Amino acid sequence: MQRRRYLPAAIGLAIMAVSIPLSFALARDPLAAVRQATERFHDVSAAGPAGYGLFYRCTDNEGLNAAMGQHFADVPKVLDPAINALDPEVLVYEPKPAGGYRLVAVEYVVFQESWDAIHPHPPQLFGRTFTAVPAGNRYGLPDFYELHAWIWKGNPRGTFDDWNPTVSCRGNGDPA
C-alpha cells in the first residue's frame, strides 16, 4: 500500500530527470531546437496547411556544382520584419529522384528595408550575420537578408553556407 503512494512521485521525478537535461541540451544546441520545431515538415504535405507555398524554381548554382533546393516560403513571415529561430520563413527541400521532396534546410529571410527601419545592424542568428542579397537577384525580390541552416542534410561547405554540393535539382534548376 505504501509503495502505491510513492509511485506517482517516483514517475514525476523520472520525467523531470529526462526533461531537464533535454532543455539544457536544447539551450546548448539551438539547431536541435529548430530541428524539433520543423520535424513535422519532413512530409511536404504539412507545409501548405502551415502557410508555406512553393516559391520560385529549384535553386542551383552550376558554377559551384551545388544547389539550395526547392524553397517553400511563408510570405506573411517574410513580410514581417521579426526573426524567430523556431519559426523559419522558408523550408528548403531537395527533389527526390523518384518524385517528391526531402526536407534538407531552413532559411530565414527578411526584407532589408523593413529590417533596417527598426534595427541598426543586419540580423543575426546562431552567431551568424545574415547575408545581404541586393535587388536584381534571380528571385526578382527587393534587397533582402537571408541565412540558410542545413539542419536536415549535412553540407560540406558549412552549416550556414547558401550552397550545398550534396543537393541536386536533378535537371530542374533555375536558369540563373
Q: Which H or E run includes 57?
A: strand 53-61
Report pLDDT for 25: 43
Report pLDDT for 138: 92
Query: Could you give the number of structural domains in the chain?
Result: 2
Residues 9 and 85 in one domain: no
Report how far residue 124's alpha carbon sits from residue 145's, in angstroms, rounded to the nearest whole number: 10
Is 164 part of a structural domain of the chain?
Answer: no
Q: What is the pLDDT of residues 23-54, one digit of tens each?
A: 454 467 899 999 999 999 999 999 999 999 99
Which residue range(s) make up the domain with 127? 40-149
Report pLDDT for 8: 52
pTM value?
A: 0.83
Contacts 24+ apart (CB under 8 A), 119-125: 119/81, 123/83, 123/147, 125/83, 125/85, 125/149
List the chain residues with pLDDT less than 70. 1-27, 176
132-167 b/e with 16+ CB inside 10 Å = b?
Answer: ebeeeeebebeebbbbbbbbbeebeeeebbbbbeeb
Helical pair 30-38 and 2-28, crossing angle rounded to 10 deg: 110
Report pLDDT for 140: 93
21 three-state secondary structure: helix
Is 96 part of a structural domain of the chain?
Answer: yes
Residues 47 and 128 in one domain: yes
Residues 57 and 89 in one domain: yes
Residues 81 and 47 in one domain: yes
Is 139 part of a structural domain of the chain?
Answer: yes
Report pLDDT for 118: 95
Q: Which of 83, 76, 101 is nearest to 153 (CA)?
A: 101
